[in-house]
Structure 1
């Protein structure tokens, strides 16, 4: 079994010195030695390290390096690819790679760790082992994210993993249902109404990009009580704005400078595309949501904040198709049914 291991840093690629965690240039050698000592020599790993940083320091510059490396890989030379990553921005990079690499007919698995691997509390080795199981099972192609807890070895669709809870460091699945899990070195896919089937995962997807260069900024806004839109600086004119909504698909529609409707009109006057999500389908809805329907904004339905943001980053940093056309495509199951 030949697997390409793409090292990018993060906690899984760090060590602790004087109570401080930081990335370590020898992390890949240590990770593979510990893996082989624990699980044996049955897997042939090839290692590359395009970037080496803590994921909270992720930027368009580092994402461009990683994405273009991933786009240049000869996937026919490997049974699968594993990307090690930091946990802080794991859900963002996972979403981006899922939509960018949906055309690849091999499993790509992104993993992270809760502690450096030389810490006994770390789940890094377990996550690596689960990622290998996803690949060796040869069940499904696509981009997946693995992050386990004790006896839980959860596999997420890369476009549906949501940022971890800051208290217990647990990730969750947008829509409430992870894709599956690993057990006894097998990849088991959950049977539920919102997850794609194995056949759907293995369907052929078109390749949209040969290279990518992220440079145009997207502004991300989340609502909160008493939010004052006068504090939002539009002077640098972002390429687009994603205004994520409360879970009911709503935002404040009263209160002058706290009124989303007035902010939307301002964006329209300034020629800044405004996207809102995650919106809800249905015949009934809150009056605040119905007031928003009258606006000249782009509505995104049933999509996580991370996937909506990273998809807009793709849409407004390419010239293959119009941003609106790209946003309308379901690139890798980022839109739930």
Structure 2
């Protein structure tokens, strides 16, 4: 038996009056479409929330995590979580930080279009998730996704980068993935996951709130008032750099030290650094290696709360 948890997203939506909106009937359509194409229907389901993923917040992470944990107690082979694509990286990262979810396959599945659209990859992604679980291909949190090349890849849940704007493709650190279905059945890639994260128990509280700020660099960058936050993540340009010559950054870091607010930098990988990176330590910036900004964000939320 496989557990399926519905949370909305495009895979659980339909088009009405020219707009995409969540539709509870679509969850049943997904299972119906799968049964008609593959015959298997041994599912147990739950729907703890119904939301377009751009509207998800940190308390929703907890609702979803508790639903996954509750379903685990029902002795299922694995769990499929349907989700929107916009923030799938954040939820997959959050679940990857939960220790209990490392023991069974938890597949986070989305669709690039509503299921009634012939371009949609949602059914294919779901079908691969079922196959992955039934054939015991691995434990932990994964995201199966069919790209524009038609190949369905299985991605590590904590290795996903934010979508590029105007694109629904999945991007990862070092283009790494766990395996693929290019030849029909599952084929492991042999690539070790380059990203690491701490593990936490399922959150006990009902609410969890984000006091973590993520900043992305751009020329002429300005910085907000740091006192409103408990931690800050600075993302870098692709070369692992930010503008360390900025007086605004220096003032920002002075206030971070003054108010004892940790500032972390994500994106500075292995290899030879540029000269501008010399100042990180002197400014009080803590470098996080081998982690995405989304995983750093969800990990810090769990630490703080």
The alignment's TM-score, normalised by the length of structure 1, stands at 0.83
1:226 counterpart residue number: 220
Spell out, residue by residue over 1:78-130, the C-alpha distance to the aligned partner (whole angstroms, 9 max, x if none): 11100000000011111111111455421110010011101111111101001
Contact 1:163 1:172 in 2 (8 A): yes
Contact 1:103 1:207 in 2 (8 A): no
Contact 2:100 2:201 in 1 (8 A): no
Spell out, residue by residue over 1:190-247, the C-alpha distance to the aligned partner (whole angstroms, 9 max, x if none): 0235569xxxxxxxx9763463542251111111111022xx1334x21111111222
Select which of 250, 260, 272 maps to 1:261.
250
- The alignment covers a number of residue pairs equal to 301
SS in 2 for 1:73: helix
Q: 1:79 to 1:173 in 2, by over 3 A?
A: same
Q: CA RMSD in A?
A: 2.2
SS in 1 for 2:115: coil
Structure 2 matches for 1:1-337, cutoff 5 A? 2-40=1-39, 42-75=40-73, 77-101=75-99, 103-149=101-147, 151-183=150-182, 186-192=185-191, 194=193, 208-209=201-202, 211-212=204-205, 213-229=207-223, 232-235=224-227, 237-257=228-248, 260-282=249-271, 284-317=272-305
TM-superposed CA distance for 1:20, in Å, is 0.8
Contact 1:252 1:288 in 2 (8 A): yes
Q: 1:72 to 1:270 in 2, by over 3 A?
A: same
Q: 1:161 to 1:255 in 2, by over 3 A?
A: closer
Spell out, residue by residue over 1:39-85, the C-alpha distance to the aligned partner (whole angstroms, 9 max, x if none): 21x24011100000100000123222112222333346111100000
Contact 1:80 1:108 in 2 (8 A): yes
Q: List runs of 5+ in structure 2 lacking aligned partners.
A: none
The alignment's TM-score, normalised by the length of structure 2, stands at 0.91
1:329 counterpart residue number: none
Q: List runs of 5+ in structure 1 lacking aligned partners.
A: 197-204, 318-337
